[in-house]
Structure 1
Amino acid sequence: MREGRQRLDKWLWFARFARTRTLAARLVSDGFVRVNGARSDNPAKALGIGDVVTVAVAHATLAVRVTDLGTRRGPAEEAKGLYEALSEG
Structure 2
Amino acid sequence: MTERPGTIRVDRFLWFARLVKTRSAAQDMAEAGTLRIDGRRIERSSAVVRIGSILAFPLRGQVRVLRVEALPQRRGPASEAATLYQELLPGGHAPAPCED
TM-score computed with the length of structure 1 as normaliser: 0.93
Q: Which digits, 9 at most, give the CA deviation of each residue in 1:2-50, with x for residues without a partner?
A: 1100001000001111100010000100122110011101100111000
1:5 aligns with 2:15: no
1:8-87 equivalences in 2 (<5 Å) = 8-87=10-89
Bigger relative CO (Cα 8 Å, ≥ 6 apart)? 1
The answer (yes or no) to whether the contact 1:32–1:57 under 8 Å persists in 2 is no
Deviation (angstroms), 1:77: 1.0
Which stretches of structure 1, 4 residues or more, deviate above 4 A after TM superposition? none
Alpha carbon RMSD of aligned pairs, Å?
1.2
- Opposite residue 12 of structure 2, the aligned amino acid is K
What is the CA–CA distance in structure 2 between the aligned matches of 1:39 and 1:24, rounded to whole Å?
A: 15
The answer (yes or no) to whether the contact 1:5–1:46 under 8 Å persists in 2 is yes
* Higher gyration radius (CA): 2
Aligned residues: 88
What is the CA–CA distance in structure 2 between the aligned matches of 1:75 and 1:32, rounded to whole Å?
A: 27
Identity across matched positions, percent: 35
Unmatched 5+ stretches in structure 2: 91-100
What is the CA–CA distance in structure 2 between the aligned matches of 1:61 and 1:79, rounded to whole Å?
A: 19
Q: Which segment drifts farther, 31-40 or 4-13?
A: 31-40
The answer (yes or no) to whether the contact 1:54–1:64 under 8 Å persists in 2 is yes
TM-score computed with the length of structure 2 as normaliser: 0.83
